[in-house]
Structure 1
Amino acid sequence: MNEVNQETVMLHLVCRYIATTTRLATQLRGELGVHDLLGAVNNRVFPRTGHLKDGASYHFHGVGCSVETPTLCVDFDFGPNGRVDGFDAWRLRAFAEQSPDDSQFHDLKVVEAALRDLETRGIVKKLGWAPSPHLYYLSDSVECSQSGQPGFLQQKIS
């Protein structure tokens, strides 16, 4: 696979992951009745493990959460202010392993290399933000649609 195509496919994977974590966190916030999920679970407002109305199960761990639906399992860590748009190689690989269409990213080393390439090109950046300094985030020039499609924002000329 050529470098540009690999980058595009990796960016689609990242955007699908972010769209999924955003949707699941929104569902958790709605059903559990709190915006600060991590703070609430750490203050024992609700149990670390439970089920949602649609049958999905959740398990909070450390600074993250794993949600399992009948069709997929997604693990995410929280960023500052409850952000769920951060990602790392391990989580992307686990997400990719659930889809045969993403078979090129079933190898952790391949995902790590692809993330390094995206970081070198300024498409993703590791910001070192608490509570999860290991997470990457999309740069300000990239946005993902709710359906998980990437797009590049045009720079404003002042």
Structure 2
Amino acid sequence: MIRLEDLIKGFLSKVEEGTTLLQEKFGTRNILRLWRSGKIERCGEIIDGVEYELHGIGCAIHFPTDSVDFDYGSNNRIDCFDE
């Protein structure tokens, strides 16, 4: 049985991995402002085989073998999620 704590840690680890790639490519982990100001497309490639997809207040990052979908929060939080 998978513990809730392990699921949360796995989620946060994948968000960290993805937002680190965003930071390296765009200079920020929160790319919503870039999208809303027209500086980047809503969807695109971060690095070979890894893509992002912005939506509402969040971002999905698609890795070659899995994906993570998270919401941005206040004070540059990157650990928010909904159902």
Give TM class, smaller chain. Answer: 0.7 to 0.9
Tell me the CA shift for residue 16 of structure 1: 0.9
Distance across 1 between alignment mates of 2:29 and 2:66:
23
Specify the SS of the correspondent of 1:87: coil
Higher relative contact order (CA 8 A, sep 6+): 1
Query: What's the TM-score, normalizing by structure 1?
Result: 0.48
The number of aligned residues is 83
* Counterpart residue number, 2:20: 26
Are 1:36 and 1:81, in contact at CA under 8 Å, matched by a contact in 2? no
The runs of 5 or more residues in structure 1 that have no matched partner are 91-158
Structure 2: state its 5+ residue gaps: none
Aligned to 1:42: 36
TM-score, normalised to structure 2's length?
Answer: 0.85
Larger helix fraction of residues: 1
Instruction: Give the superposed CA RMSD.
Output: 1.8
Alignment-mate amino acid for residue 55 of structure 2:
H
- Hey, what's the Cα distance between the residues in 1 that align with 2:20 and 2:45? 15
The one-letter code matched in structure 1 to 2:69 is: D
Question: What is aligned with 1:68?
Answer: 62
* Structure number with higher strand proportion: 2
Mapped to 1, the partners of 2:12 and 2:38 lie a distance apart of 27
Greater shift, 51-60 or 35-44, is seen at 35-44
**Alpha-carbon distance in 2 for matches of 1:81, 1:47:** 23
**4+ long deviations beyond 2 Å:** 33-36
Shift of 1:28: 0.9
